[in-house]
Amino acid sequence: MKAKKPMSEPKMGPTEFAAEVERLKAEGKFPSLETLLAAIAETRAEFAPKILGARRSCDRIAQRCPIVLPVQILP
């Protein structure tokens, strides 16, 4: 079993990615550009309002309750 890479590292390098693309093309499983763009548009339509709403909510909370960092009081 292959060890998982940390989230900060890419899952595939450029060589691995190119090999995966070629494998999918050979198997006839590589999506067309139109299919890919439709999937991206659908995902954006679903998640963009949720992300923007969460950002607005966070902004409102920050305005009402600013973050106060602890301060060391010197003698």
Phi/psi of residue 47, nearest 5 degrees: -100, -25
How does pLDDT run along the chain (75 residues), one tens digit per residue?
556 666 666 688 889 999 999 999 999 999 999 999 999 999 999 999 988 888 888 766 666 655 555 555 555
Tell me whether residue 52 is in a domain: yes
Using one digit for the tens of pLDDT, what is the confidence trace for 56-69?
887 666 666 555 55
Tell me whether residue 15 is in a domain: no
Domain encompassing residue 37: 32-66
Dihedral over Cα of 15, 12, 40, 22: its sign = positive
Tell me whether residue 10 is in a domain: no
